[in-house]
């Protein structure tokens, strides 16, 4: 990158106080993915304000005007507001239309809450549904992972394999998407891990559509994988208190977010899958689905919940 190309500032990304207050009071109360989109939008705006070509807006009224929103939208679509654009992994690729739709929905929600009369650029069209891998391929992933759960690393069990086997098992039994898996707590499982309850937001539905509470039966292999993972998970999270203490998926080592046993970030589930399946593909010579969501797509139409009902508004 040449000196003439502006880059996002490396300093802490903050907003003018009026905009910080606005983002703080408009945090969604729905799914984890909605909250993450909200945080992305806030960060994109903060990065945009470090760029010389973007207007230095300081209030809600200055931000939510048609020209400013159009410029913020175009910068985001061009990846100018990503902090890791130059470090895209081979699994990421260019920004998809579905990612743009998620960004658009977050901006539209904030525009509505602002009460301003601005207009957003047109909402991107839906992408054609991807062709899921064969159901058999999804089960092959589980078989490969299970075959390596006893693998020893640095004198101990490879916990990435143990955690991933439980994760893949849940996908095979429920067709759950990444955000639904990330939100799981141990309280969501029935006695002896025979069932799991997921709160699912229908994909592509209008923002006002209520989520569904669905209960799924779990197979013996998934229950065994979950029991095995919980032994290691509870040891890692023994000293963790607060909002993280009942989360199913936790970190295996210390990081910038804290000690081992903290709640694994939403993107951490996908990165774990990518890292492990890269190894498995190299060891077995068999290409495996490159994305965690591919497994969800393979199973989404094949599994039927024991029960399904709308979540009542509180």
Q: Could you give all domains of the chain from N- to C-terminal order, each with its CATH number? A: 17-114 (no CATH), 135-310 (1.10.443.10)
CA distances from 44 to 1, 70, 79, 122, 256 (A): 20, 13, 10, 19, 21
Span 155-182, average pLDDT:
87
Span 90-101, average pLDDT:
63
Contact 192/223 with Cβ under 8 angstroms? yes
Q: What is the DSSP letter of 249?
A: -
Contact 128/293 with Cβ under 8 angstroms? no
pLDDT in tens, 117-165: 999 999 888 766 555 555 556 667 777 777 767 666 666 778 888 898 8
CA distances from 248 to 12, 63, 167, 189, 263 (A): 31, 39, 10, 10, 8
Alpha carbon distance 196, 214 (integer Å): 8
Contact 111/69 with Cβ under 8 angstroms? yes
Tell me the whole-structure pTM to 2 decimals: 0.62
**Per-residue pLDDT at 289:** 77
Alpha carbon distance 277, 168 (integer Å): 11
Q: Which of 129, 146, 147, 72 has its CA nearest to residue 104?
A: 72
Of 40-54, 111-125, 170-184, 289-303, the range with the lowest mean pLDDT is 289-303
Q: Which of 198-212, 234-248, 280-294 has the highest mean pLDDT?
A: 234-248
Span 186-193, average pLDDT:
96
pLDDT reading at 70 higher than 90 = yes
Span 97-109, average pLDDT:
87
Alpha carbon distance 209, 71 (integer Å): 30
pLDDT in tens, 257-275: 678 888 888 788 888 888 7
Contact 38/106 with Cβ under 8 angstroms? yes
Mean pLDDT estimate for the chain: 81
For the chain, the first-to-last Cα distance in angstroms comes to 50
Residue 70 makes CB contacts below 8 A (sequence gap 6+) with: 120, 121
């Amino acid at each position: 990158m040449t000196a003439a190309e502006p880059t996002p500032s490396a300093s802490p990304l903050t907003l003018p106080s009026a905009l910080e207050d606005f983002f703080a009071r408009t945090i969604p109360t729905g799914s984890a993915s909605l909250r993450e989109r909200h945080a992305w939008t806030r960060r994109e705006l903060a990065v945009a304000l470090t760029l010389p070509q973007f207007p230095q807006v300081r209030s809600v009224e200055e931000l939510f005007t048609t020209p400013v929103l159009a410029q913020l939208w175009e910068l985001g679509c061009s990846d100018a507001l990503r902090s890791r654009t130059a470090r895209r992994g081979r699994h990421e690729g260019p920004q998809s239309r579905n990612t743009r739709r998620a960004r658009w929905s977050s901006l539209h929600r904030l525009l509505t809450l602002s009460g301003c009369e601005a207009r957003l650029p047109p909402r991107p069209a839906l992408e054609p549904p991807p062709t899921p891998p064969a159901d058999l391929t999804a089960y092959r992933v589980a078989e490969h992972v299970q075959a390596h759960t006893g693998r020893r690393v640095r004198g101990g069990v490879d916990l990435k394999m143990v955690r991933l086997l439980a994760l893949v098992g849940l996908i095979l039994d429920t067709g759950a998407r990444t955000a639904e898996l990330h939100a799981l707590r141990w309280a969501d499982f029935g006695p002896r891990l025979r069932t799991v309850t997921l709160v699912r937001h229908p994909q592509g539905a209008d923002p006002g559509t209520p989520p569904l509470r669905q209960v799924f039966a779990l197979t013996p292999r998934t229950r065994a994988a979950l029991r095995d993972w919980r032994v290691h998970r509870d040891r890692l999270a023994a000293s963790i208190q607060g909002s993280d203490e009942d989360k199913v998926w936790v970190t295996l080592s210390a990081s910038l977010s804290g000690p081992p046993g903290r709640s694994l970030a939403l993107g951490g589930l996908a990165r774990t899958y990518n890292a492990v399946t890269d190894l498995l593909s190299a060891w077995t010579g068999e290409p495996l689905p490159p994305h965690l969501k591919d497994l969800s797509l393979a199973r989404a139409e094949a599994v039927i919940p024991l029960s399904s009902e709308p979540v009542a508004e509180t």
